[in-house]
Structure 1
């Protein structure tokens, strides 16, 4: 169960339709509660959400109100587009109320642009941190250049970045090492690349067809390892010594239970298999960002 403690449950699916392979849409309230209850039963204790994730925060808050002894630590994200007041302190106080928690495990800028635009407000965030309303301050990033810009900012406690079988050590290893050397916590997301790894290669869009060769290679590696793509994807991130937490999202309870089984399977994947993954080098880096699809 050690690897499971590194898992953070993403909740964008609880408030918005999300993922290239999500054909079910947003879960019902009852289904969302079932996902959260199952996660807690499994030992997952941290949720990742955002002010821009539709009604996800309300779902979490309602769960907490009805399960006061089974609350999660919650990381949420500030987005200038999610609130007309565009005020950090107002947003945080509203988040605490909506999420039904006394403090936030983490408060992140939803993107690097929001971080840069709100430099004058970081002192207020640091003050809220001293008061205990926010435990850690973070930034969600996309590029290594953004990561390197954060290394010397002592007010930033953790950084979230994409990391997966394609967006792998070829691109990220140096950034991961430097983050750890600077004393920052590392959270990674998009370990399944929004479900692309499960896509039938015959159903790829014209743009994504540029990844067909690499998707075939992934399946070959999984066959060599006698394991699943899910186990490969989870193990590749969870076994990385430079990564503190791995964010996963699910569409329903069964998918969550399946992922936990894959996590257990990933513990026995040999290092030589991970080395094969490290040989995958995506030339067109734009294809690693789902917003470009």
Structure 2
């Protein structure tokens, strides 16, 4: 299963994740993580320009020669397409590379705006010039990834899916994308560590979800299933998915992830772990002011129904 794993780099450039108590990863630890990832055959490294100084950190910490195929993300398009192109080229330069594996549109709303077609044409130009080998789109559930794929026909599409967030699985979107010949990559398989976070440590906006999360963890305990193993097994065995991006803060965590990914898939009622709370499934809302948000009323009915 380890061939299907890729590595996220958000933790290398900033404090990221609800369950991350260590904060930003030190460069020594980044080197150890990358070295172990290389030894285990991981190839994809997901890199975004807004994650601190992560590109230069990676450039200083790659094992040599680097076996990885990084995938870089675009900045937002409001400053123009020349800026998008310049920043993509700078990302490659900062990492000390001549080219990368994938160039990815980071925010699908840029493709749905007035510059969408021109932005995609610019990405195709950079692919033809050899800056990256493939073009991808990072999409959210709300972006309707199947419709996006039909319009732009990317080589790769990355979407959030997890044991807690099963919306795209339930709707058949992942299989539909794969049937179109598109590589499907899954991110947020731990939903920023929500499955591992004790009830008392949840942000205020997630406190109403505490009882449901406790029930999920209790069910895993009763079936003698480690939450890490369950989350990875769910993502790695999804039909149509070719790669899964995970984030870690230490080499020890990566060893645990790889060990869990190599274990047999447990026999669980996977649908029972899905949550429907619109706030919990949108990490950007976890610390937001929701006092006047209609989703607060919506979540009450959903949680009560659960």
Q: Fold match, TM over 0.5? A: yes
Q: CA RMSD in A?
A: 2.2
**What are the Cα deviations for residues 81-131 of structure 1, in whole angstroms up to 9, with x where unaligned?**
898986232122212211122222111111112333442122121122123
Q: Find 2:266's aligned residue among 264, 269, 281.
A: 269
| Residue 170 to residue 138, structure 1, CA distance change in 2 (3 Å) | closer
Aligned length: 284
Q: Which shifted more, 109-118 or 95-104?
A: 109-118
1:153 maps to 151
CA distance in 2, matches of 1:85, 1:179: 27
Distance 1:21 1:280, change over 3 A: closer
Question: Are the equivalent residues in 1 in contact too, given 2:81–2:119 (CA < 8 A)?
Answer: no
For 2:293, the equivalent position in structure 1 comes to none
1:156–1:184 CA contact under 8 A, matched in 2 = yes
The reply to whether residue 93 of structure 1 matches residue 86 of structure 2 is: no
> Does 1:291 find its partner at 2:288?
no
Q: Which shows bigger deviation, 230-239 or 97-106? A: 97-106
- After superposition, the Cα gap between the structure-2 partners of 1:99 and 1:82, relative to the gap in structure 1 and judged at 3 Å, is farther
Alignment correspondent of 1:46: 44
Q: Distance in 1 between matches of 2:147 and 2:214?
A: 35
What do residues 148-187 of structure 1 show as CA deviations (whole Å, max 9, x unaligned)? 3313134422111111111015765421122112221111
Q: Which residue of 2 aligns with 1:135?
A: 133
| Per-residue deviation, 1:203 | 3.2
Q: Equivalences for 1:189-228 in 2 at 5 Å?
A: 189-228=187-226
Question: In 2, distance between residues paired with 1:145 and 1:15?
Answer: 26
Q: 1:58: Cα distance to partner?
A: 0.7
Mapped partners of 1:123, 1:85: distance in 2: 10
- Contact 1:80-1:86 within 8 A present in 2 as well: no
- Listed as ranges, the gaps of 5+ residues in structure 1 are none
Cα deviation code 1:173-230 (max 9, x no counterpart): 4211221122211111111111111111233333212322331232233234322000
What corresponds to 2:275 in structure 1? 282
| 1:69 is aligned to 2:65 | yes
Matched, 1:78 2:63: no
- Alpha-carbon shift at residue 146 of structure 1 (Å): 2.7
Equivalent runs, 1:239-258 vs 2, <5 Å = 239-258=237-256
- Identify if the C-alpha distance between structure 1 residues 128 and 167 changes in structure 2 by more than 3 Å, giving closer, same or farther: same
Deviations 1:34-87 (A, max 9, x none): 1111111121121001111111111111223xx332331000111128989862
Determine the C-alpha separation between the residues in 1 that align with 2:48 and 2:35.
20
> Does the 8 Å CA contact 2:5/2:244 hold for their aligned counterparts?
yes
The 5 A counterparts of 1:167-182 are 167-168=165-166, 172-182=170-180
TM-score (norm 2): 0.85
Distance in 2 between the 1:141 and 1:22 partners?
24
Q: Quick one: structure 1 residues 227 and 13, their matched pair in 2 at CA, closer, same or farther if it must change by over 3 Å? A: same
